Structure 1
Amino acid sequence: MSELGTVTSKAGRARRKAARPSFWLTVLSLTAFAALIALGVWQIERRAWKLALIDRVEQRVHAPAQPIPSPASWPAVSAASDEYRHVTVAGRFLHDRETLVQAVTEEGPGYWVLTPLKRDDGTQVLINRGFVPPERREASMRRNGNPDGEVEITGLLRMTEPKGGFLRNNVPQHNRWYSRDVAAIAAARGLHDVAPFFVDADAGSQTAQGPIEGPIGGLTVIRFPNNHLIYALTWFALAFMLAGKLFVTFGGGLFRRGRFVHEPAGGSDAAARRTGSDAGTIVEQT
């Protein structure tokens, strides 16, 4: 084999060796690519689930009001099957056992007024009668807004909130409440046979003599963040960026060409580059 062929062969082998990725780098790169694709697909599935949830809740909210579930079915009540149902319930308010829960609404900061409603069968349901600002937190400031007789409340069935709120836990012993935890409120107020959910009263269901002084109902916010499509596109974009990087890193060497430069023996740097009789022929990567 000629000296030029030998040099070319060595350069080719060196080029192929340089282009060949390590085993573990290949495994990690392919694993990362598969994980990014899987995350993108998962977000697409989550988006479909969220859209179905939004549609289901919209149907419940705008459906005609139905009686709340019977006490026998209370253990089976769940967020998936019952939350945000439009319901109705009748009874008498126990105003002396109301609970104020911190709230931030479109009306500003203040409190939700949760009052037990005692039904004819003796069972009780916590009613979120609505919002009051801090200056009307004392019950004495809104006596005319508290109906004494039989009332019928319509509203949305809501699930208990036992995990606290505003990044703070409830402190029953100090009467500080940050979430509508039905069980904890019932225990603190000495309530029995209480439904494991509460009802957000509609704006028009307050039958008080002085509605201006009563809590403001109908402020339930129904909003489900749905950014799953953006997340999916982000994961897919990262996956394809990684694929492009892998192609450049692992496949780019397969398309490189050897460039032959003939340098005359008498060139200015010939002495520095001379290695033998083939000193005038150099193979470089492009």
Structure 2
Amino acid sequence: MTTARVFRPTRAATLMTLPAIAIMLGLGTWQFQRMGWKADLLARVQERITAPPVALPVTLDDPAAWEFRPVTLTGRFLNDRETLVLARPRQGQAGYEVVTPFERADGGGVVLVNRGFVPMDHRLSANRAPGRIEGGISLRGIVRLPTAPSLFQPDNAPGAPVWVRVDPPAMAAALKLPAVAPLVVEALPGQTPGGLPAGIEPRVELPNNHAQYAATWYGLAVTLAVVYVLSQRRLRPDPAVTATTTGPTPHDRLPRA
């Protein structure tokens, strides 16, 4: 028997599928909007990070307005209170970033300066004596705001010799310092005798993967629509075959009296 298939969806399948497709399409569109917003943000950050350095103000009414800005500081390092923070491996070497309190000469208090990477075998300041700068200096760096702990990153452990992330208030308390600025200055490379700590190249860690996310949501919506259509097709008998198989019965063909 020849048969054909027709799209005849059930109410339950329709009520479950159409809202899901609408949500996926909405999420894809939202990701495209986020992509535009992120591109604008990256452009603003790039403009900031390439601007000429200026002196960090004594009073910081809006620290966020200074993030990614090149600044200069004058003062001295409090080398006896430096702190080690876990760092990503560099060129196959495990190590730390050295964060040292910096006492400003302009009366702006203390600012934490991330002086950059040192390998594990140079974690002790005695192993990098040329980089232990004493006395008054001027340095250049990039302002960064401290990051909050994330779901996949453990927070700092009180009393641990190595910190997981820079946390100005907690570090000030642990080092018995007066209140420090609510930001970090990442020292630029080339300012340390002996090369260690190595300083930090200007870095912008703001990935823009929203186009991939949008494509994923749109792809899921299309896939679900195809599954919905294919799964809701039903067999329909061929009309010609139906007419043949449902013709008059032998009784109907008998001559009438």
Measured after TM superposition, the shift of residue 132 of structure 1 is 0.9
Match of 2:101, SS state, is strand
**Bigger relative contact order, structure 1 or 2 (CA pairs below 8 A, ≥6 apart):** 2
Q: Distance in 1 between matches of 2:9 and 2:156?
A: 61
Residue in 2 that maps onto 1:100: 84
Q: Distance in 2 between matches of 1:34 and 1:166?
A: 31
Contact map agreement 2:49 2:202 (CA 8 A) in 1: no
CA offsets 1:195-232 (integer angstroms, 9 cap, x no match): 0001110013x2x5xx2253101245423322211221
Residue of 241, 245, 248 corresponding to 2:223: 241
Contact map agreement 1:162 1:182 (CA 8 A) in 2: no
Residue in 2 that maps onto 1:21: 10
Q: Which moved more, 1:129-138 or 1:105-114?
A: 105-114
User: Highest CA radius of gyration, 1 or 2?
Assistant: 1
Identity across the alignment (%): 36
Residue in 1 that maps onto 2:249: 277
Contact map agreement 1:91 1:151 (CA 8 A) in 2: yes
Which AA in structure 1 matches 2:241? Answer: F
2:210 aligned with 1:228: yes
Residue of 137, 140, 165 corresponding to 1:179: 165
Shift of the 83–105 alpha-carbon distance from structure 1 to 2, 3 Å rule, reads: farther
Residue in 1 that maps onto 2:125: 139
Shift of the 163–260 alpha-carbon distance from structure 1 to 2, 3 Å rule, reads: same
Shift of the 231–161 alpha-carbon distance from structure 1 to 2, 3 Å rule, reads: closer
Q: Distance in 2 between matches of 1:249 and 1:165?
A: 39
2:58 aligned with 1:70: yes
Measured after TM superposition, the shift of residue 182 of structure 1 is 1.3
Residue of 100, 105, 110 corresponding to 1:115: 100
Measured after TM superposition, the shift of residue 236 of structure 1 is 1.2
Residue of 200, 206, 217 corresponding to 1:218: 200
Tell me the C-alpha RMSD between the 2 structures. 3.1
Residue in 2 that maps onto 1:83: 67
Residue in 2 that maps onto 1:153: 139
Measured after TM superposition, the shift of residue 114 of structure 1 is 0.6
Q: Distance in 2 between matches of 1:194 and 1:216?
A: 23
Determine which structure has the larger helix proportion and give its number.
1
Taking structure 1 as the reference length, the TM-score comes to 0.75
Which AA in structure 1 matches 2:10? Answer: P
Measured after TM superposition, the shift of residue 183 of structure 1 is 1.2
Residue of 219, 241, 244 corresponding to 1:260: 241
Would you identify which runs of 4 or more consecutive aligned residues in structure 1 move more than 3 Å? 244-250, 252-257
